[in-house]
Structure 1
């Protein structure tokens, strides 16, 4: 029996206004390459990822500037919201494909974390899974429209949701479509699957898998990338789609 394909879907149509930069955050540079390049290359270089689909804004003025179309990826139009971009990205996937959805602004993803998440494909108890980390800090709930503490939340069982998030493409497509039609607030793929009644596994991931959101995140991401490439013996600027896919 043929193994199902794993297709990475990268929603990259956001503008990243909180970065206060002159361009969307995915095009800021770390270690000589854009954040988006680091993210795409990490996915392309995983031996079990068969394809990468990137959803960009139709008005994107930077994607071609960095030669990203030269990479072995497929490019589709993004939408107004993340869920729209992801849905556009998985529309052409096969019925037996699995969608591995990953934030464009998480360039520090580690191969071992992707491999651990892909193990969910063999489970009969859940419909998919996401990378996450248990909450370690004390969590406070504030009163509505104030910065005044209402109470301290019990952090037992609380996790920070990360990406990638992995689901059968057919199920995720239906869940996103139905959730958007209902006007539901879909903050990630897991929330759409939860709304549709599916069980989702949490897979403990690395704390280095940060999402670049604010300017202060850039030096931390740069540090994690340098550590990653040093451990693997790579030059950050030459690390690209040079794995088995490019050689085959």
Structure 2
């Protein structure tokens, strides 16, 4: 397969319509305070000063009471679209907007709203490696822990070999037209995709794995917030 051309603008899509029920907080996790700012503000800051990024599209829940009060300090254009019930629907809504703003050959970085600790060197490495690829790719880290398969009773059924297994992270980077088409197909055919790479896999494609840092954690549970603050403050220091 021939390498993709390196032309095309670079856009960021952040699905931020989730409720984050596992945090057991009074608000969605993207609006929790972290080192003096909300989680979402830290996440936006990961892209705000990147010279290649043309703009950011946020997918926000229609009844979100916190978004209107958030004051963003971001020089880039920030567009807002309605979020869907599932992640894929939110991302597709954002891609529909970008289809009117950009070109099918533009690149899109899809990033979790609750991953505020993306390192600039990881972002630069992802962009540099993926824009040479015909399919696209994602940040990921190799699995280091022993992996167990559970049975229906919650007992260990077997140990799974971890060779070749990776934890999928974000950003995930694909061409606008390609990703939009793959997501549309998956949704129309009732296929549940948990990340953008899954939509391309369903279409028979094989995205590139780009190794990133393990501290690019997703805030899901209360203890993750403390860990994310530790990583952020250590980096700032």
Tell me by how many angstroms 1:48 deviates. Answer: 1.9
Distance change (3 Å), C-alpha of 1:2 and 1:161? closer
Alignment of 1:136-151 (within 5 A): 136-143=144-151, 145-151=152-158
CA deviation profile, 1:83-123 (whole Å, cap 9, x unmatched): 00000111122212111000000000011111111123442
Tell me what 2:229 maps to.
Answer: 222
For structure 1, list consecutive stretches of 5 or more residues without a partner in the other structure: 231-248
Tell me what 2:95 maps to.
Answer: 90
Which portions of structure 1, spanning 4 or more consecutive aligned residues, are displaced by more than 2 angstroms?
68-72, 120-124
Tell me what 1:212 maps to.
Answer: 219
1:118 and 2:127 correspond: yes
Looking at structure 1, the residues matched to 6 and 201 of structure 2 have their Cα atoms a distance apart, in angstroms, of 29
Q: How many aligned residue pairs are there? A: 228
1:75 and 2:87 correspond: no
1:162 and 2:169 correspond: yes
Contact kept, 8 Å, 2:130 with 2:208, in 1: the verdict is: no
Q: Name the TM-score, length of structure 2 as normaliser.
A: 0.92
Looking at structure 2, the residues matched to 127 and 161 of structure 1 have their Cα atoms a distance apart, in angstroms, of 16
Contact kept, 8 Å, 2:45 with 2:74, in 1: the verdict is: no
Distance change (3 Å), C-alpha of 1:215 and 1:112? same
Looking at structure 2, the residues matched to 42 and 139 of structure 1 have their Cα atoms a distance apart, in angstroms, of 31
Tell me what 1:51 maps to.
Answer: 55
Which residue of 57, 64, 71 corresponds with 2:68? 64
Tell me what 1:105 maps to.
Answer: 114
Q: Secondary structure at the match of 1:15?
A: coil
Contact kept, 8 Å, 2:138 with 2:168, in 1: the verdict is: yes
1:182 and 2:196 correspond: no
Distance change (3 Å), C-alpha of 1:128 and 1:70? closer
Tell me by how many angstroms 1:3 deviates. Answer: 3.1
Q: Secondary structure at the match of 2:12?
A: strand
Tell me by how many angstroms 1:66 deviates. Answer: 1.7
For structure 2, list consecutive stretches of 5 or more residues without a partner in the other structure: none
Q: Name the TM-score, length of structure 1 as normaliser.
A: 0.88
Which residue of 6, 25, 43 corresponds with 2:29? 25
